[in-house]
Amino acid sequence: MNMRAQEGRAGVALISPTLVITLVVVVLPLLWAIMLAFQDVRLINIRQAGLFGHYTLENFSYVMSEPGFWSALVNTLVYTVAGTALSIAIGLVTALALRDRFRGRTLVRASVLIPYVAPVVAVAFLWETMLNPQYGIVNTWLSEPIAFLTQAKGEFLGIEVPVALLTVIAFEAWRYFPFAFLFILARLQALPAELDEAAVVDGATPTQRFRYVIMPQLWRIIALLSVLRFVFTFTKFDDVYLLTGGGAGTEVVSVRVYNFLTARDDIGASAAQAIVLAVFLVVFLVVYLRFFAGGTREQG
């Protein structure tokens, strides 16, 4: 046996544990989830639903004919777009503010990372407590207590606003801006200092330097962050479920998937919704990438 063939066999042998576990725990279950979406299955009759079971489109027509599904999809989109945009915007401001040294930077930097490092269950409970209308600290600062997490609609400066949905979005921005901050700061610190210095010599003001020197070098990382945050937030379950349980106008599709699976015990409809959610995710991503690819071509 020659060296090359031996190398190939060793490679396959060393990678195979990785492949086996991803295949068994991710790829095969995914295929099964797709099959389940096309069958009428509940936990009680699951043993009868085999590979050659009765396939039908009923789950999809049932799920998509429910008005709750479409409002959940709209909520998901609003929550995702706003959460992604806010977390990246705050992350960018944080990275710019913490870029240069100052006394206590290590402490502030550590503090800023905690919301992202801390377990979601703990921070969701913390927010619930702080926003509690009876004894929450935030409501003691307000003239009139606001039920941030249980009130679907409220008035702010005469405009009707979705209170709970906005609160959930604020939570999302607070929890994930450190993620954007880490990426953007890493990029900022890798930028060559000469460009900025040259701009100073040329008499560019701080905002001009930001607009014409720094931002053009950050667009790629911001685009990448947008995709990552969009993908993760669009199918996110924990945050909304823990904060509101999907009530008060905050129901997102992933929470519906969970409720169909556990409370209604309707596996087929649950899987169908999850598949539709994934398809919408892919569609939005393709649209975004098209749009973005077109944008860069115009610039370059």
Partner 1 sequence: MSRDRFERRLFAVLRPLVIAFLFLITAFPFLYMLMLSVRDIQELILEPGSLWPRDFTLDTYVDVLTRQGFLIFLRNSAIVAVASVAVTLLISIPGAYAVARLRFFGRRQVHFLFLAVYLFPAIVLAIPLFVLLTMLGLRGSLVGLILVYIAQTVPVTVYMLRNYFETVPRSVEEAAAIDGCTRLSTIWRVVLPLSKPALMATGLYAFMIAWNEFLFALLFLVERRESWTVSLGLSQLAGSIEIPTTVLMAGSVVLTLPIVIVFFASERLLTQGLTAGAEKG
b/e string for 145-168 if b means 16 or more Cβ within 10 A?
Answer: ebbbbbeeeeeeeeeeebbbbbbb
Which residue in the set 11, 68, 216, 295 belongs to the binding site for partner 1 (CB under 8 A)? Answer: 11
Q: According to CB under 8 A, which one of 52, 65, 67, 117 is a site residue for partner 1?
A: 117
Residue the block writes with tokens 């429910």:
66
- The residue within the footprint of partner 1, chosen from 64, 74, 126, 287 (CB under 8 A), is 126
Residue with Cβ nearer partner 1 (29 or 160): 29
Residue from the set 77, 93, 195, 223 that interacts with partner 1 by CB under 8 A:
93
Nearest distance in Å: CB 4, partner 1: 7
What are 209's two structure tokens?
A: 């330097």
Q: Which stretch binds partner 1 (CB under 8 A): 77-85, 155-163, 201-209, 292-300?
A: 201-209
Q: How far apart are CA 254 and CA 274, in angstroms?
A: 7
Contact between 148 and partner 1 per CB under 8 A? no
**Torsion angle of alpha carbons 37, 41, 68, 245, nearest 10°?**
-100
Considering only 62-70, 74-82, 161-169, 203-211, which stretch makes contact with partner 1 by CB under 8 A? 203-211
The residue with tokens 């005469």 is: 158
Q: Which amino acid is at 134?
A: Q
69 forms part of the interface with partner 1 (CB under 8 A):
no
Selection from 13, 59, 119, 116 nearest residue 276 by Cα: 59
Q: Does 76 bind partner 1 (CB under 8 A)?
A: no
114 or 289: CB nearest partner 1: 114
Helix locations, the chain, DSSP H:
3-22, 28-37, 58-65, 67-97, 105-117, 120-130, 137-141, 163-190, 193-201, 206-209, 215-234, 238-243, 253-262, 267-299
Nearer to partner 1, 47 or 297 (CB): 47
Please report whether residue 60 would count as binding partner 1 according to CB under 8 A.
no
Within positions 232 to 291, which residues make up the interface with partner 1, using CB under 8 A?
Answer: 232, 234-235, 237-238, 242, 254, 257-258, 261-262, 267, 270-271, 274-275, 277-278, 281
Contact with partner 1 (CB under 8 A) among 76, 82, 136, 163 = 136
Work out whether 127 is an interface residue with partner 1 (CB under 8 A): yes
Question: Among 57, 64, 74, 121, which residue interacts with partner 1 (rule: CB under 8 A)?
Answer: 121
Among the residue ranges 71-79, 160-168, 230-238, 291-299, the one whose residues contact partner 1 (CB under 8 A): 230-238
User: Judged by CB under 8 A, does residue 101 bind partner 1?
Assistant: no
Among 228, 249, 284, 288, binds partner 1 (CB under 8 A): 228
Convert 5-40 into a string of H (helix), E (strand) and C (coil): HHHHHHHHHHHHHHHHHHHHHHHHHHHHHHHHHCEC
Please give the Cα distance from 222 to 84 (Å, whole number): 11
Between CA 142 and CA 148, with CA 144 as vertex, the angle to 5 degrees is: 80
Our CB check for partner 1 shows the closer of 113 and 152 to be: 113
Q: What are the angstrom distances between the C-alpha of 212 and each of 18, 82, 126, 199, 200? A: 45, 26, 41, 9, 12
Interacting residue with partner 1 among 92, 183, 218, 244 (CB under 8 A): 183
Please select the residue that binds partner 1; options are 2, 17, 160, 300, rule is CB under 8 A.
Answer: 17
Q: Are 170 and 204 in contact (CB under 8 A)?
A: no
Between 214 and 267, whose beta carbon lies closer to partner 1?
A: 267
